[in-house]
Structure formats: C-alpha cells, structure tokens
Structure 1
Amino acid sequence: MCKPLIKYFLIGSLVLALSIFAESEWKWLDFAEAHPLAIEEGKPLLVNFYSTGCYWCRKLDADTFGDSLIESRLHESFIATRVNIASNRKVQWREQTITEHDLARHFSVRGTPLTAFVDTTGKIVGSIPGYIPPENFLPMLKYVEGGWYNELSFQEFLVSEEALKKN
C-alpha cells in the first residue's frame, strides 16, 4: 500500500518541480541589451517601468504578462525590457549614458506601472499608465505590432477592429 503512494508522490513532485522550473521562451531583457536588439531585429520595443513594492506592477506581471496569449505575442513580435524607476544603473539611450531613473523621467513616468512602446527608429510611439488586463492589452500589442499608429489613432483602430469582427 505504501509503495504505490510513494510512487505517486514522487511522480507528482517531479511534475510540480518541472512546471516550476520550466522556462518560457519569452523573457525580459536588460534595457542595455533590449534596445539595440530591437533595432537590429526590426521589432518594436516594449518598456515596462516598475518600482519595487508596487502592487499593480506585480498584478500586471502576473495577470497580463503571465497570460499565455500575451506572452506568445511578445515573444513573436516584440523585444521586451523592464526598467526600475528608482535604479541608478547606467543605460544607453539616444547616444547618451543615463540612469534608469533618468530614463523613466525621459519617458515621463509619473507612477508605476507604465508600459511604453518604442518603434524601430527609436521613436516613442506611446505609453499606457497603470494596470491593463490581458483582454485590453492584446489590442495595444496589435496596434503597435502592425504599425497602425502611423495611420490611425488607437480609438480609430479599435473601431475598425470591431467592424472587422462583425463582418
């Protein structure tokens, strides 16, 4: 009776350990690595500004960035990086060496979380303050990924997406 229980316990423990340590293909990159890579690969850059101890930052990480559909889209079409707004680590931005804290000021970060998008030319496409649930975040990714910001406002894009769904 004990041997089968031990066997199931060991198998269960192994499955749990593998699921905890299994790495996703997608991961956050350091800003120093991400910015040049985005230009090199011709992908938009997603910059997630956060602060330690921020509840909404953790919720955004868990709910939105932890969503498999969002994660897949980020892996395929974006280069993603995280920046701690209180950090004095040095990064390169527009041929200048500045701190992550100064970078946050450059992006006009007034609170966290804040998600910003940078196109392949280095132009800041836009930024969204606060927590965004996955179902609202996905259209933003599509908008930036498709370069729609060059032709339509985000609101116009949403209206056109809804019209396409109805047809």
Structure 2
Amino acid sequence: MRKLILLPAIVLLIASSALVNKPEEKATIKWLTLEEAYKLNQKNPKKIFVDVYTNWCGWCKRMDRDTFQDAKVAEFVNENFYAVKLNAESQDKISIGQDTTTSQMMARSMGVSGYPTIVYIKEDFKTIQAVPGYQKPDAFLDTLEKVLAWK
C-alpha cells in the first residue's frame, strides 16, 4: 500500500523539478530582408544595421552564435534598429524603391570587402559607416549605442 502512495508523490516531484529547471530560451534578433526594412522604415523610421556575411565565414557564424544571440544585444537591437542579414555572395534580387540589384552588388556598393561587416544606415537610408570584423557582445552594444546617438 505504501508503494502505491509513494509512486504518485515521486512522479509529482519529478514533474515539478522539470518545470523549475526549464532551460532558458535563446534571445533572438528579428531579422529582416533589406526590402522589408526599407518598407518598415517608410512608416516608422529607425536606424538599420546590415550584417553582411558569407556562408563560409567562420567569424560570421561565431558572431551569429555569440553576439547576436546575447539577450542584451537582441533586446537592444529589436527595440532600436531594423536588423538585416545580407549574404554578400548571393545573386538574390533586391528591390529598393525603383532600383533593383543583387545582394552581392549591394554589399559591394556598401564598400564591404571582409566578413563579417556591419553596415549602419540612417533613417534616410544613407550609410553611416561600415564596421568590419567580429565583435563581442559588449563591444557590439557599445557601438550600437554610439550609432543610435548619431544624427
């Protein structure tokens, strides 16, 4: 009889500990295409940052994993910027206003020659600056705060 009473208690204990020790959800940046950011910017102007990457770039993958999934970074970006991913080697078409180009040509026009490179764009869609290289979360947040203050 005691075994029958203990079994439900053990099951309840295991189930409740699973709820308490629930793994944290990873922070995520709301990534957009350049076209989506452009359209959103027409209605609600914000600065834009473009993560220019390639599929073979190890530092790009590390920045995706370490920097862009940092909770503070994701929260700050989602509140203050439109975030765009741009594959510098892609031939995918991009249409901004009346202009059509490819992702590869857009990366070149932004002056990108190394990866990863973050390109910061003002609300009027003019480039502020391209910043090449991997950035740790704290350094990236510092840069984002400075860009946000840029007029």
Q: Tell me the C-alpha RMSD between the 2 structures.
A: 2.6
Cα distance, 1:65 vs. partner? 1.1
Q: Which has more helix, going by share of residues?
A: 1
Q: Which one-letter code corresponds to 1:96 in the other structure?
A: D
Q: Who is 1:157 aligned against?
A: none
Number of equivalences: 144
Q: Which one-letter code corresponds to 1:38 in the other structure?
A: N
Give, in whole Å, the separation in 2 of the partners of 1:10 and 1:85.
48
CA contact (8 A) 2:111 2:130 kept: no
Counterparts of 1:114-133 in structure 2, within 5 Å, are 114-133=117-136
Residue 73 of structure 2 aligns to a residue whose secondary structure is helix
Counterparts of 1:1-167 in structure 2, within 5 Å, are 4=10, 8=14, 12=18, 15=22, 24=28, 26-93=29-96, 95-147=98-150, 150=151
Taking only the aligned residue pairs, the percentage that are identical comes to: 27
Gaps of 5+ in 2: 1-5
Give, in whole Å, the separation in 1 of the partners of 2:136 and 2:7.
46
Q: Which has more strand, going by share of residues?
A: 2
Gaps of 5+ in 1: 151-167
Q: TM-score, normalised by structure 2?
A: 0.81
Structure of higher CA gyration radius? 2
